[in-house]
Amino acid sequence: MSINIRMRGKSKGGVAEVKALIKHPMESGARMNKKTGKPYPAKFIDMVEIMVNDTKAVDAQWSGAVSANPYMAVQVKANAGDKITINLTDNTGEKGSESLTLK
């Protein structure tokens, strides 16, 4: 199963604002199951990479402190017609990727 990403982007004056809604449980591993008394296993996005025309523009490391189904918005140098790609990896090795062409 892959990480689901919905994204939008728009460029104005050489700067693009990219917005993404990521569907992921983002479980830190510290929360306990009330019925069993055991912790839920950790499952969180730990690597976020944003590419502009196959060149890395953003490289971020996340942790279990980020909320479930996170929303992110970033600004990058890009023009209309440029390709923006978001690549994600979680701590279990699950990956997700989404691309769009800026308007």
- Tens of pLDDT, residues 14-37: 999 999 999 999 999 999 999 999
HSE of 10, CA atoms in CB hemisphere, 13 A: 1
In this prediction, residue 2 carries a pLDDT of 85
Matching residue, tokens 């019925």:
35
- Give yes or no for a contact between 26 and 69, defined as CB atoms under 8 angstroms apart: yes
Mean model confidence pLDDT for the chain? 96
Angle, alpha carbons 50-91-70 (nearest 5°): 55
pTM of the model as a whole: 0.91
The CATH class, in words, for 4-30+38-101 is mainly beta
How many helices (H) and strands (E) in the chain?
0, 7
Domain ranges for the chain: 4-30+38-101
